[in-house]
Amino acid sequence: TETGTQLRRAADRGELTLHWQPIVRLADGATVAAEALLRWQHPVRGLVAAGEFLPVAAELGLLPEVAAWAVEAAFAQAAAWRRCGHAPHVYVNLAASQLASVDLGSELSRLAAAHGLDRRGVSLELSEDVLGSDVVALGERLAHQRASGFSIALDDFGAGSTALAWLRHLPVDVLKLDRSFVATVGEARTRTVVRAILALARDLGVRTVAEGVETEAQRDFFAEAGCDYAQGWLLGRPVPAEVLLPG
Ligand code: G
Ligand code: G
Ligand code: MN
Ligand code: NA
Q: Tell me, in angstroms, the distance from the centre of ligand 3 to residue 210's CA.
A: 11
**What is the average per-residue pLDDT within 134-145?**
85
93 alpha carbon – ligand 3 mean position (Å)? 5
Cα atoms found within 13 Å of the Cα of residue 100, Cβ hemisphere only: 11
Three-point CA angle 167, 131, 204, nearest 5°:
15
Q: Is 149 left (phi over 0), alpha (psi -120 to 50) or beta?
A: left
Q: Ligand 1 pocket test: pick from 48, 90, 92, 93 the residue with the most ligand atoms within 8 Å of its Cβ.
A: 93
Ligand 2 lining (C-beta closer than 6 Å): 21, 37, 49, 93, 127, 155-156, 211-214, 232-233, 238
Predicted confidence band of residue 169 (pLDDT cuts 50, 70, 90): confident
State in Å: Cα 38 to ligand 1 middle.
6
Most confidently predicted of 3-12, 137-146, 173-182: 173-182
In whole angstroms, give the CA distance from residue 107 to residue 92.
15
Nearest CA to 56 out of 5, 14, 94, 104 is that of 5
Structural domains of the chain, ranges and CATH numbers in brackets? 2-157+169-244 (3.20.20.450)
Would you say how long the chain is, in residues?
247
The amino acid occupying position 115 is H
Share of the chain above pLDDT 90, in %: 77
pTM: 0.96
In whole angstroms, what is the distance from residue 30 CA to residue 22 CA? Answer: 10
Question: Could you list which residues have their CB under 5 Å from ion ligand 3?
Answer: 93, 125, 155
Q: Chain centroid to CA 118: how far?
A: 17
Tens of pLDDT along 39-96?
999 999 999 999 999 999 999 999 999 999 999 999 999 999 999 988 899 999 998 8
pLDDT in tens, 190-227: 999 999 999 999 999 999 999 999 999 999 999 999 99
Q: Confidence class of residue 1 from pLDDT cuts 50, 70 and 90?
A: confident
CB 155 within 8 A of CB 126: yes
Which ligand has its closest atom nearest to the C-alpha of 50? 1
d(CA 147, CA 151): 9
Which has the minimum average pLDDT: 74-78, 82-86, 109-113, 176-180?
Answer: 82-86
Residue 239: per-residue pLDDT: 98
